[in-house]
Structure 1
Amino acid sequence: MFVSAAALLAAIGAPAYAQFSTALDTSQQTANEGKTSQQRIDQLDDQTAALLNDYRANLKQLEAARRYNESLERNIQGQQRAIDRVKVDIENVAGLQRAVTPLMEDMLARLGDIVEADVPFSIDERRERVTRLTEVMSDPDVTVAQRYRLIVEAYQIENEYGRTIGEYSGSIDDGGEQRAGEFLRVGRLALIFKTGDDSVLKIWDNAQRAWVDLPKSYLPDVRLGLRMAKEQTAPALLPVPVKAPTKAAQ
Structure 2
Amino acid sequence: MNNRRLYSKVLVPLASLLVIGTAKAQDVDTSTIDRALNVVDETNAAAAQSQETINRLSNSSSALFEDFKLESDNLEALMVLNANWRRQIAIQEQDLATIAESVAEVRNVTQELPLLMNKMISSMEQFVALDMPFHLDARQARIEFAKSAIDNPNVSTAERFRQILVLYQTENAYGRTRETYPTTLTIDGVERDVDMLRVGRIALTFQTKDRSMTGAWDPEARQWVTLDDGVYRDAIRTGISVASGTIAPEIINAPIVAPELAQ
Give TM-score, length-normalised by structure 1: 0.60
Q: Secondary structure at the match of 1:173?
A: strand
For 2:152, give the aligned amino acid.
Answer: D
Gaps of at least 5 residues in structure 1 are: 1-89
Q: Secondary structure at the match of 2:179?
A: strand
* Runs of 4+ that moved beyond 4 A: none
Q: Secondary structure at the match of 2:192?
A: strand
Match of 2:196 in 1: 183
Match of 1:231 in 2: 245
Gaps of at least 5 residues in structure 2 are: 1-101
Do structure 1's residue 204 and structure 2's residue 204 form an aligned pair?
A: no
Do structure 1's residue 194 and structure 2's residue 207 form an aligned pair?
A: yes
Do structure 1's residue 94 and structure 2's residue 106 form an aligned pair?
A: yes
Rounded Cα–Cα distance in structure 2 between residues aligned with 1:248 and 1:164: 25
Match of 2:168 in 1: 155
> Quick one: percent identity of the two aligned structures?
34
Q: CA RMSD in A?
A: 1.9
For 1:204, give the aligned amino acid.
Answer: W
CA offsets per residue over residues 168-221 of structure 1, 9 Å max, x none? 111111121111111100110111111100112111001111111111121211
Rounded Cα–Cα distance in structure 1 between residues aligned with 2:155 and 2:261: 38
Match of 1:25 in 2: none
Rounded Cα–Cα distance in structure 2 between residues aligned with 1:98 and 1:154: 22
Larger Rg: 2
For 1:181, give the aligned amino acid.
Answer: V
Contact 2:207 2:237 in 1 (8 A): no
Rounded Cα–Cα distance in structure 1 between residues aligned with 2:248 and 2:166: 29
Rounded Cα–Cα distance in structure 2 between residues aligned with 1:211 and 1:248: 25
Written as runs of structure 1 = structure 2, the 5 A alignment for 1:38-187 is 93-95=105-107, 96-187=109-200
Return the offset for 1:92: 9.0
Match of 1:61 in 2: none
The one of the two structures with greater contact order (alpha-carbon pairs below 8 A, sep at least 6) is 1
CA offsets per residue over residues 223-247 of structure 1, 9 Å max, x none? 1211221122222223211122123
Rounded Cα–Cα distance in structure 1 between residues aligned with 2:182 and 2:194: 6
Give TM-score, length-normalised by structure 2: 0.57
Rounded Cα–Cα distance in structure 2 between residues aligned with 1:91 and 1:206: 47
Match for residue 214 of structure 1 among 203, 227, 246: 227
Rounded Cα–Cα distance in structure 2 between residues aligned with 1:106 and 1:91: 24
